[in-house]
Amino acid sequence: MSAPLKIETMADYVARGESPEILFWVGCAGSFDDRAKKITKAIARILQHVGMKFAVLGTEESCSGDPAKRAGNEFLFQMQAMNNISKLNGYNVKKIVTGCPHCFNTLKNEYPELGGNYEVVHHTQLVQQLLDQGKLKTTGGSYKGKRITFHDPCYLGRANDVYEAPREVLAKLDAELVEMKRSRENGLCCGAGGAQMFKEAEKGNKEVNIERSGEALVLVPDVIATGCPFCMTMMTDGVKHFNNEDKTKVMDVAELIAAANNL
C-alpha cells in the first residue's frame, strides 16, 4: 500500500504562505455518505500518488446548492453559492476538481454569474490528463480482462458533454468495455438527479434505477463503473434488487484506477 493519506486544507497552505495546484471539492456525498467516502479517498490517493499539491476546504466547505436549485429553491441556492464563492475567492482559488458531477456542473456553469469564476474539472477528466501526461500509469491489475460497462452520469454527460474521459481511463485497465443500449448522448438517468434523490418516488410501475440497472446487468458485467456518488447509490441498490451483488460490483472510475495501482 502507498503512504498514509495526508490531506491539507486551504487554511494550512495559507498559513505557510503557499497555494496548492488544485482545490479538491469533496461535496456533501463525498463527505458524509459512507460509500462515497471511499471514492473521496481514492481520488485523494491518486492525487497524492502523482505528487500533486492539493487542498480541501474542510469545514469551510458547504453544499454547492445543487439540490436546492433543482428542487426549485433559488433563494437557498444563491445563499449557499454566495457563501462558497466568498470562501473560494478569499483563498484566490483558480482550479477545482470535483468528485461529483452535480458539484462539477454547478461550480462550472452556475457560479460564474454569481462571481465565482474557476477552472472546474471532474475527477475522471483529471485522471485522464494524468494518464495522458504519463504521471499516472496503470496496467489494469486485477481488473485486466474484466467486463466493464460505464453508466453516464447526467450532469457529466448530457449536461457537459464529457463522455470520452471516463471511457479512456477505463480503457487503460485493459478491460473489455461494453456499452449499454442507452449510453452517451442517449444515456438514461439513474433516477437520482434533479433532487429526486431526496424525495419519495412518484407513481409508476418501475423505479428508474431498476430500469437502468437492468440494462447494465443484461451485459453480464463484472463491474458497473460510474463517476457520481448519486449514481453509485442508485445503481448499487438496483444490483441488490436483482440479487446480483456477488457477481457485479458498482465502482467509481477513481476507485478502479486506485485499486489497479495498489493505492
Nearest-CA neighbor of 39 among 256, 235, 262, 238? 256
What pLDDT, in 10s, does the model give residues 103-128?
A: 999 999 999 999 999 999 999 999 99
pLDDT of 205: 75
Number of C-alpha atoms within 13 angstroms, CB side, residue 14? 12
121 and 21 co-located in one domain: yes
pLDDT at 3: 67
Sign of CA dihedral 234, 238, 239, 243: positive
> What's the confidence (pLDDT) of residue 198?
56
Residues 86 and 173 in one domain: no
153 is in which domain, residue-wise?
Answer: 137-260
Domain assignment of residue 1, yes or no? no
Q: Is the domain of 168 the same as that of 208?
A: yes
Instruction: Check whether residue 184 and residue 256 sit in a common domain.
Output: yes
pLDDT, tens digit (0-9, with 9 covering 90-100), for 76-86? 999 999 999 99
Structure confidence at residue 185 (pLDDT) = 84
Are residues 160 and 153 in contact, defined by beta-carbon separation less than 8 angstroms? no
Do 48 and 117 lie in one domain? The reply is: yes
Instruction: Kindly indicate the confidence band of residue 2, based on its pLDDT and cuts at 50, 70 and 90.
Output: low
- Would you say the pTM of this structure is higher than 0.85? yes
Domain closes at, from 128, 163, 194: 128
Cα–Cα dist 176/100, whole Å:
25
Q: Are residues 256 and 141 in the same domain?
A: yes
**Number of separate domains in the chain:** 2
